[in-house]
């Protein structure tokens, strides 16, 4: 008898989990679509100018420039910097703990 009760409990939990997942998906789908539509359109070139990279990253300009200056965001070129989108994407993923580095960033010039 305990196996039958356990099987029934497991079945009910699976149904509840599926229902919860459906409701979460219903709530998140419109919000995700809105976020994705706000993103800049895909560029034809993987290379971005500084202003394009700042817009793409959605970081404040000063923060972006400090991160690039200290090498946390890789850049190429001389005075006019270029950013390679795959490298920028990886750097932004690596910087997910940005608040931990905020004190160090203030000292970068």
Q: What are the tens digits of pLDDT across the range 54-101?
A: 999 999 999 999 999 999 999 998 889 999 999 999 899 888 654 444
Q: Which of 93, 31, 108 is nearest to 57 (CA)?
A: 93
Q: What's residue 98's pLDDT?
A: 46
State the pTM of this model.
0.50
Work out the end-to-end distance of the chain between its first and last CA atoms, rounded to an integer number of angstroms. Answer: 72
CA separation for the pair 75, 54 (Å, rounded): 12
DSSP 23-70: HHHHHHHHHHHHHHHHSPPPPSSSEEEHHHHHHHHT--HHHHHHHHHT
* In the chain, domain spans: 1-38, 47-106
């Amino acid at each position: 008898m305990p196996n039958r009760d356990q099987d029934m409990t497991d079945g009910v939990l699976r149904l509840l989990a599926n229902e919860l997942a459906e409701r979460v998906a219903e709530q998140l789908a419109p919000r995700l679509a809105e976020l994705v539509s706000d993103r800049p359109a895909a560029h034809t070139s993987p290379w971005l100018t500084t202003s394009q990279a700042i817009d793409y990253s959605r970081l404040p300009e000063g923060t972006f420039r400090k991160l690039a200056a200290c090498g946390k965001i890789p850049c190429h070129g001389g005075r006019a910097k270029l950013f390679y989108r795959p490298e920028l994407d990886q750097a932004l993923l690596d910087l997910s703990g940005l608040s931990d580095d905020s004190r160090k960033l203030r000292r970068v010039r």
